[in-house]
């Protein structure tokens, strides 16, 4: 993997990590298109650049994280199901589900669900004044929905947003809770992946990792700002159509 491929992957990671379109799915599909050999460094690179996207959210929502302990407790409860299922299913998921066909099918199914959600559920008014006031039970249910995102192509953002709109949140609140929940989830996932993927780094690889972190950070920051405006004005329907189109295209190419 050269500098160009590294930058492209980092931009894709940043743009898609917090959108309901599956960053993992796009990374797998992009690597397939660019014919990037899936060696140990590439796996490590794809893990590390997620940190750039995480830091973008952590900085963007720093005031929210400094408001008090309540939001931390709610996020901890929501994170718990993913931590348990992820630990138990890590080997199976990495071995059997990380392939373009699974990603394509997940993109299509998730797209259909997003369109349905936008038409049937997302117009409901919120029952929660502030995210820190979400009941623990509902936070846990959102966490259960996040477990579905372990299937590549499903999208962590899509799963948690869908979980949010079914658990007393409006579309903006569900989106923001998804952003906040990404911080502990992705820190834990990247940390665990790095422990499972030790690798020796030379100067060239370090440069690629630094470039990846920077480009992922910047593109994630831009994507989140734009995404919030799109959600408020247009909802999730267009993201659903996008998922279906991309899923169909790549499913055809794999046949």
Q: According to the model, what pLDDT value does residue 199 have?
A: 66
Region of residue 36 (phi > 0: left; psi between -120 and 50: alpha; otherwise: beta):
beta
For the record, the structure tokens of 190 come out as 């990247």
Q: Which tokens belong to 206? A: 């370090």
Cβ atoms within 10 A of the Cβ of 48, count? 21
The pLDDT tens digits of the residues spanning 97-144 come to 777 888 888 899 999 988 888 877 656 666 777 888 888 999 999 999
Q: What is the CA radius of gyration of the chain?
A: 17
Q: Is 63 exposed, middle or buried (0-12, 13-18, 19+ CB in 10 A)?
A: exposed
| Amino acid 184: pLDDT | 87
The domain total for the chain is 1
**Could you report the per-residue pLDDT of 55-114, keeping only the tens digit for each?**
999 999 888 888 778 888 999 999 999 888 877 877 777 777 777 888 888 899 999 988
DSSP state for residue 123 in the 8-state scheme: T
Share of the chain above pLDDT 90, in %: 27
User: Rounded to two decimals, what is the model's pTM?
Assistant: 0.82
Alpha helices in 66-170 (DSSP H): 69-96, 100-120, 136-146, 156-165
Q: How far apart are CA 159 and CA 165, in angstroms?
A: 10
Confidence at residue 232, expressed as pLDDT on a 0 to 100 scale: 79
Domain containing 188 equals 3-253
Please tell me the predicted confidence (pLDDT) of residue 124.
63
Q: In the predicted model, what is the mean pLDDT of the chain?
A: 85
- The predicted pLDDT at position 253 comes to 78
């Amino acid at each position: 993997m050269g500098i160009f491929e590294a930058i492209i992957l980092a931009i894709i990671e940043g743009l898609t990590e917090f959108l309901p379109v599956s960053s993992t799915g796009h990374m797998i599909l992009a690597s397939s298109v660019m014919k990037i050999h899936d060696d140990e460094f590439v796996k490590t690179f794809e893990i590390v650049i997620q940190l750039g996207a995480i830091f973008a959210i952590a900085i963007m929502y720093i005031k929210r994280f400094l408001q008090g302990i309540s939001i931390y407790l709610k996020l901890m409860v929501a994170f718990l199901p993913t931590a348990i299922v992820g630990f138990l299913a890590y080997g199976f998921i990495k071995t059997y589900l990380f392939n373009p066909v699974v990603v394509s099918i997940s993109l299509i199914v998730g797209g259909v669900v997003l369109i349905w959600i936008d038409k049937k559920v997302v117009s409901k008014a919120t029952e929660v004044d502030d995210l820190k006031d979400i009941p623990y039970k509902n936070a846990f249910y959102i966490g259960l929905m996040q477990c579905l995102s372990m299937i590549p192509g499903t999208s962590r953002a899509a799963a948690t947003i869908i979980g949010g709109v079914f658990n007393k949140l409006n579309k903006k609140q569900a989106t923001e809770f998804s952003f906040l929940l990404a911080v502990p989830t992705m820190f834990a996932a990247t940390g665990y992946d790095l422990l499972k993927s030790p690798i020796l780094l030379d100067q060239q690889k370090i440069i690629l990792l630094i470039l990846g972190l920077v480009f992922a950070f910047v593109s994630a920051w831009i994507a989140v700002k734009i995404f919030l405006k799109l959600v408020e004005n247009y909802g999730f329907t267009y993201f659903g159509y996008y998922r279906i189109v991309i899923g169909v295209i790549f499913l055809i190419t794999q046949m």
